[in-house]
Structure 1
Amino acid sequence: MAQSDVKARIGSVQNIRKITRAMEMVSAARLRKAEDRASSLRPYADALRRMTRQAAAAAGAGELQSQPVLRTHEQENTVGLVLVTADRGLAGAFNSQILRAGLNRAAELESEGKKVVFYASGRRGVSSLTFRNKELTGQYTGFTDAPKASNASDIADDLVAGFVDDKIDRVEVFYNSYVSPLVQEVRQETLLPLAAASVVGDDDAAEEPEEETTGPKAMVEYEPDDPAELLAELVPEFVQVSLLRALLESAASEHGARMTAMRNASENAADVIKNLTLAMNRARQADITQEIMEIVAGAEALN
């Protein structure tokens, strides 16, 4: 390869490195804000989950069928899968692992004879599912890097309406849970029906600290008096807050994954520049050696 070609490649790689370093710094700045938003919502989401669990326990299994939003459908013929992805790529396996988990779950449900409809948050999820000819009942884009409560409310309204109207019999959500900039875990949660949701499951109960068996305990009073009526008001709020938490966790995971991916890209670009520089120096030395040999050969010919 000629020296001019190597120089051109070094220049292009240096330009790419500048872009990746700038994207890394932008993601690092946004990550801090996303972490704060996700962590600030967790106490409220946990408190709402505990309240919903207590009301469900007080209502009992029979009363859960008294309200359309609470009842469990006799047959789960149609399952809605909510995939929380990003509007942009360049974030490593952030989007692909959510799509892989959702598609694997869809294949599992379809093998059981059930129909699967998708709700996709983020352009990457929408485009990938559209490319695979999957049925998209809802698509939500333009906010994944900084989601708001109104965005979660839009998705929750569609899910609750579909469940109440018997268009879907079960709702599951897949999202990246933020652990650290290097680690994002794919989480799957059931939102509807309430009886199958993680809010009333053993897993959540195990996460809470054990209550003291002795001493005074708080007495819970419900307004309205019927816990089932209270649940009918709590469930849409529970779905909305659960989705908002998923969106915020996903946003933090996105920025962390992109920061890590861009850092790795910058380091790889530095290695490429180093190797190309060595190759250019070897080519220059070879040219100089060739010129010296030609000069010496010409001098010997004159003598």
Structure 2
Amino acid sequence: MGKNPMKKKVNKWIKKGKDPRSAHWQAALEATLKLFGPDLEPGRLIPMGPLEDEDLVVFEKALAVVDLSPNVSAAFIPPLLAGKLTPPDTVEELHRISKDAPSYQILISRPGKEIRILSAEISEHATRPGVDLFQSGAFLGNYDFENQSVCLEHLNKIIRAHVWKAEGWTREDHVAYTLNWFEKVTCLNSATVAVEKDFSFFHSPTLIKSNQIDAMFTLMTEDLLKRGKDETDPFGQAVLSMENLKQEGREAPLAAQIIEDGMLQQLNLMRTLDLVKFSDFTNAQSEKFKRGFSETVRYLEGQLA
């Protein structure tokens, strides 16, 4: 049998003069992310395992500030698992929380020829909440903060500086990034979710050769198409229920009505959070909005019905 690839990588790093402690710890972090791999989604912060109520509070705080480019994967690790992911005692500078305190960690990997790992401890119980960075078996540096609040306040800037991919975005990347942002806005019912407006087509419609109103309907369409296939989402459940009733030969709600209800919920959210200033629309924009609404309903009806 061949040598363990991770062990081979560690030996290579050490031969190049990297500190064995940081080399082994990066390997452990990479192995953890590989283990989580099937559950991770590029561009999204994904919780590993079920969350207790107290875990959900921390996750939502992190979700609001962790802004990822579409090629980057991130894992939110609650205490049940994070307690097992502890640096060895020989690496004192990496210890951020006592072993008996609930640890909340975020692991982010930036792909490339040499994977970069960002490891963050964001527990309010941490003695040193902050971020550690690793690449090629080397400990690149860290950021220490006085408490959880300050750590979260700076976390997105660190992510942006060290693991974001800012070049070579495709149209699909801009769509995925913007959709991820809107999903977080919807989940948290908040307009303060972190976003790089120069990369979001909702904020910068020219990224997809569009305009404000068309971009808004594009976002709504992408959101409902995705939710329509999700059996855990109320909109998806309504679509599935309609399909089941039709198959059983029973009277079902009109697809157009289900879609209109979903779109009105989206528009109400945008209005409530002041994401779109509908009151500032000109007469021409209002007419364009009406046409866009009807066209989107018809399109989604063809896709979901």
Fold agreement, TM-score > 0.5: no
- Which protein, 1 or 2, shows the higher relative CO under an 8 Å CA cutoff with sep ≥ 6? 1
TM-score band w.r.t. shorter chain: under 0.3
TM-score, structure 1 normalization: 0.26
More helix by share: 1
- Structure with max Cα Rg: 1
TM-score (norm. length: structure 2)? 0.26
